[in-house]
Amino acid sequence: MICMIYGCGALLAFFTYDLMESGRLPNIKWWMIFIFAFVTSMVLGYPASWAFEKLFKERLCDCTNVPLNINGRISVPTSVVFGAVSILMVKALVPLVNKGLNTLSEALLDILAYVLVSIVLIDTTLIISLMTDFRRYVVLVDGGFQNHIAVFAEHFYANPDSYYNRVMQRVGDFKLSVSKNLIEKQLCEEEFAELIKDYLEYDVIKQMDEHIHHGTTTTLQHCENVAWICYLLNKKLNLNANEKELVEVAMLHDLFLYDWHDGDPARRIHGFVHADIACNNAIKHFGIPEKQQEAIRSHMWPLNITKIPKSREAVILCIVDKYCALIETVRLNKHFGLRH
Q: Cβ closer to Fe ion: 85 or 247?
A: 247
State the Cα–Cα distance between residues 227 and 196, nearest whole angstrom. Answer: 9
In the complex, least distance from residue 256 CB atom to Fe ion, rounded to whole angstroms: 9
Q: Cβ closer to Fe ion: 63 or 278?
A: 278
CA distances from residue 187 to 135, 192, 227, 263 in whole angstroms, order as listed: 43, 9, 16, 43
In the complex, least distance from residue 288 CB atom to Fe ion, rounded to whole angstroms: 16
Count of residues near Fe ion by CB under 5 A: 2
Phi then psi for 97, rounded to 5 degrees? -65, -40
Q: Cβ closer to Fe ion: 89 or 295?
A: 295
Alpha carbons within 13 angstroms on the beta-carbon side of residue 112 total 8
State the Cα–Cα distance between residues 75 and 65, nearest whole angstrom. Answer: 10
Q: Cβ closer to Fe ion: 123 or 209?
A: 209
State the Cα–Cα distance between residues 4 and 11, nearest whole angstrom. Answer: 10
Query: What residues have CB less than 8 Å from 22, skipping those under 6 apart?
Result: 268, 269
Q: Does 328 bind Fe ion (CB under 5 A)?
A: no
In the complex, least distance from residue 290 CB atom to Fe ion, rounded to whole angstroms: 20
Q: Nearest to residue 225, comparing CAs of 110, 335, 113, 107?
A: 335
Contact assessment for residue 288 and residue 311, using Cβ atoms and an 8 Å cutoff: no
Q: Nearest to residue 226, comparing CAs of 316, 108, 100, 111?
A: 316
In the complex, least distance from residue 322 CB atom to Fe ion, rounded to whole angstroms: 8
Stretch that binds Fe ion, among 23-31, 74-82, 136-144, 316-324 (CB under 5 A): 316-324
Phi then psi for 70, rounded to 5 degrees? -115, 110
The footprint of Fe ion on residues 18-37 (CB under 5 A) is none
Q: Cβ closer to Fe ion: 181 or 207?
A: 207
Stretch that binds Fe ion, among 98-106, 286-294, 318-326, 332-340 (CB under 5 A): 318-326
CA distances from residue 241 to 193, 237, 297 in whole angstroms, order as listed: 18, 10, 18
Binds Fe ion by CB under 5 A, chosen from 79, 321, 327, 333 = 321
Q: Cβ closer to Fe ion: 195 or 220?
A: 220
Stretch that binds Fe ion, among 109-117, 189-197, 240-248, 313-321 (CB under 5 A): 313-321
In the complex, least distance from residue 253 CB atom to Fe ion, rounded to whole angstroms: 6
Give the pairing type, strands 217-218 and 69-70.
unpaired
Binding mask 224-263 for Fe ion (x = CB under 5 A): ------------------------------x---------
Judging by beta carbons within 10 Å of its beta carbon (0-12, 13-18, 19+), is residue 54 exposed, middle or buried?
A: exposed
Q: Cβ closer to Fe ion: 218 or 311?
A: 218
In the complex, least distance from residue 229 CB atom to Fe ion, rounded to whole angstroms: 11
In the complex, least distance from residue 182 CB atom to Fe ion, rounded to whole angstroms: 30
In the complex, least distance from residue 282 CB atom to Fe ion, rounded to whole angstroms: 12
State the Cα–Cα distance between residues 273 and 254, nearest whole angstrom. Answer: 11
Q: Cβ closer to Fe ion: 63 or 320?
A: 320
Q: Interface with Fe ion by CB under 5 A: which residues?
A: 254, 321
